[in-house]
Amino acid sequence: MESINTNLKPIPNMFEVRTANQVLKDAAAMPDPIELFSPLIIQGELIILFADTGIGKTALIVQVAIHIAKGGWTVLYIDLELSDKQFEKRYRNDEGIHFEFPGSFYRASYAALRTLPNVDYDKFFINSLKSSIDKTQASVIIIDNMTKVVSGDTDSAKNAIPIMNSLSELKSDKGLTFIILEHNKKVDDWRPISLNDLQGSKMKSNFADSVFTIGRSANDKGIRYIKQLKVRSAEMEYDSESVLICELTKEDGFLGFREIGRGNESDLLKAVTEESRNSKIERVLTLKAQGLSNVAIAKELGVSEGAIRKWTKNR
C-alpha cells in the first residue's frame, strides 16, 4: 500500500465566497474611489485611451497627468513614443522658456542598455515597471503606448493577454491606477467611433474598467472630440450625443486641449456622399461574401443592422 504524502501543499482556491450582505458590509468600510480627472479617470481603475496616430493622445494624457499631479498624486508617465528632445520641444515657448511641471510628475523612457538580460521581454518590462513604481512611489501610471510594450502584434490576444493580466494584478495588489494608450484600427470618417475600433478590442476592453477615445472633426482639422465608450464607476457623460469638443493648441509653451463645449458626434463627421455610400455598399457585399451575418457586418462598420439590410436590398 502506497503511503500518503502529507507534505503536499493545498491548492489555493481562485474564489472567495461570502454572502451578498457580507460583501456590502465589507465594501462599505472601504473608501469610495476618487475622481482624479472627472469623468474620465477614476482612482484604482485600468483605463484605455485609444485614437488615431497624430490626433493628440499624448498631448491630452500629459495634460490630464499634470492635473492629477497638481491634486497631490504622484504620476509616473512611461513614455515609449517620444525622445527627450521631442518631449522638450512640446513644452517650451518661442522664447525657449519651459513649462513648469509639478514635482510629483515623473517621466520614464527607454534606458540605453548595451545588453539585454536573458529573460522574457514581458517579464523584463513588468519587472522594470515595478522597480520604477517603487522608486517613485507613484500611484497613477501612464503607459504610452501599448504597441511598444507587447512583443508582437498588439491585436493578437496571445501576445497582449500576459501584459494585460500583469497590469491588472498590479492594479489590484497595490491599488494603482493605470492609463494605457493604444492605437485604433482604420476608422471611416463618416461613422461614429466604437469599441470595435480599438486594436484587439474584444480582449483588451474586457480588462479595462473604462475606455475613451479621441475623434477628429471633419469640418476643422484643429478640432478634436472626446467620447466615452465604456464606464463602470461613473456616469457616461461624453456619449455620442454629447461628446466633449476641444481645440488642440499650443499656448505659452504648452501643447494641449482647450475645451470648447459639447456637441453631437454626427455633426462632426463627414457627410455621406454618393461615392462614399457606394464604397460602403461594396464593403458590405465583400463581408457578406466572406460569410458574415448582417449583425456581424453592422458591428464591424459601426452602423445599425437595419442600415445593412437597406444597403443590400435587391443586390
More confidently predicted of 68 and 249? 68
Q: Are residues 106 and 153 in the same domain?
A: yes
Q: Are residues 259 and 286 in the same domain?
A: no
Q: Which residue has the cell 458626434?
A: 265
Q: Are residues 283 and 228 in the same domain?
A: no
Residue 212 has pLDDT above 60, yes or no: yes
Going by C-alpha positions, the residue among 148, 123, 141, 3 that lies closest to residue 76 is: 141
Residue 294 lies in a domain: yes
Residue 302 has pLDDT above 80, yes or no: no
Q: Are residues 60 and 130 in the same domain?
A: yes
Average pLDDT in the chain: 87
Q: Are residues 233 and 157 in the same domain?
A: yes
Residue 77 lies in a domain: yes
Q: Looking at residue 303, what is its pLDDT?
A: 59
C-alpha to C-alpha distance for 292 and 279, rounded to whole angstroms: 18
Segment 71-77 shows an average pLDDT of 98
Question: What is the share, in percent, of the chain residues with pLDDT greater than 90?
Answer: 55
Give the pLDDT band (50/70/90) at residue 166. Answer: very high
Q: Are residues 289 and 256 in the same domain?
A: no
Tell me how far CA of residue 258 lies from CA of 63, 181, 224, 249, 262, in angstroms: 10, 20, 10, 7, 12
pLDDT in tens, 171-192: 999 999 999 999 888 777 778 9
Give pTM, 2 decimals. Answer: 0.80
Which residues form the domain of 202?
34-268
Say if residue 8 is exposed, middle or buried (CB neighbours under 10 Å; 0-12, 13-18, 19+).
Answer: exposed
Question: What is the share, in percent, of the chain residues with pLDDT greater than 70?
Answer: 87
Total domain count, the chain: 2
Q: Which residue has the cell 515597471?
A: 129
Q: Are residues 216 and 294 in the same domain?
A: no
Residue 2 lies in a domain: no
Give the pLDDT band (50/70/90) at residue 274. Answer: low
Residue 71 lies in a domain: yes
Q: Are residues 222 and 278 in the same domain?
A: no
More confidently predicted of 124 and 177? 177
Q: Can you say whether the dihedral through the CA atoms of 280, 285, 290, 295 is positive or negative?
A: positive
DSSP 228: E
Query: What's the farthest any 2 CA atoms get from each other in the chain?
Result: 87
Residue 166 lies in a domain: yes
Segment 292-310 shows an average pLDDT of 71
Q: Looking at residue 196, what is its pLDDT?
A: 87
C-alpha to C-alpha distance for 59 and 249, rounded to whole angstroms: 10
Give the pLDDT band (50/70/90) at residue 154. Answer: low
Segment 67-87 shows an average pLDDT of 96
- In degrees and rounded to multiples of 5, residue 134 shows phi and psi of -65, -40
Residue 249 lies in a domain: yes
H helix count then E strand count, the chain: 9, 11
Residue 177 lies in a domain: yes
Q: Are residues 250 and 302 in the same domain?
A: no
- β-partners of residue 107 are 77
Residue 12 has pLDDT above 90, yes or no: no
Residue 304 has pLDDT above 90, yes or no: no
Residue 200 has pLDDT above 80, yes or no: no
Q: Are residues 193 and 126 in the same domain?
A: yes
Give the pLDDT band (50/70/90) at residue 288. Answer: confident
Residue 130 lies in a domain: yes
Q: Are residues 153 and 291 in the same domain?
A: no
